[in-house]
Amino acid sequence: MSSCCRPATRLRPSPRRCGGHHAGKPSLVTPMLELRPNCECCDTDLPADSAPAFICSFECTFCAACADARLAFVCPNCGGELVARPRRPVAKLAVNPASTLRVYKPHACSRVS
Ligand SMILES: [Zn+2]
Ligand SMILES: [Zn+2]
């Protein structure tokens, strides 16, 4: 009687895999300019597709007049340089709308002495 020679190796049902804790999390946040709708200094409207606007690296946003005459292209909030904000074409704005959150901090620009 030698019919019971089955291999006694036990296959583990499933090795533990770390499939749970970091699966399916969409971390695809596209870094995109906010394109704020107004100047922080004078509250002038700055439409994302038309008006010339200036921003710093933190996206403090100013109109051309304030950036030039009042701020000398230096951000009053962070001290960084202000550069021309790229415009976003209207077709892209439909897909990626500009920010509608108005930031208005006139006190930051009133350091005229
Ligand atoms: Zn302004
Ligand atoms: Zn700034």
Establish if 17 belongs to a structural domain: no
CB 87 within 8 A of CB 26: no
Establish if 38 belongs to a structural domain: no
pTM for this one? 0.70
Establish if 22 belongs to a structural domain: no
Establish if 32 belongs to a structural domain: no
State the total domains in the chain. Answer: 1
Q: What is the DSSP letter of 47?
A: -
Which SS3 state, helix, strand or coil, does residue 12 take? Answer: coil
Distance 57 CA to ligand 2 centre (A): 6
Distance 41 CA to ligand 1 centre (A): 5
Distance 96 CA to ligand 1 centre (A): 24
Distance 105 CA to ligand 1 centre (A): 10
Establish if 105 belongs to a structural domain: yes
Report angle CA 100, 103, 104 to the nearest 5 degrees. 135
Ligand nearest to the CA of 56: 2
pLDDT by residue for the chain (113 residues), tens only, comes to: 555 666 666 666 655 555 545 555 556 666 789 999 999 999 999 999 998 999 999 999 999 999 999 999 999 999 999 999 999 999 999 999 999 999 999 887 865 44
Distance 52 CA to ligand 2 centre (A): 17
Distance 64 CA to ligand 2 centre (A): 15
- Compute the radius of gyration of the chain from its Cα atoms: 28
Establish if 64 belongs to a structural domain: yes
Q: Residue 103: which domain range?
A: 53-109
Establish if 101 belongs to a structural domain: yes
Distance 31 CA to ligand 1 centre (A): 25
Establish if 4 belongs to a structural domain: no
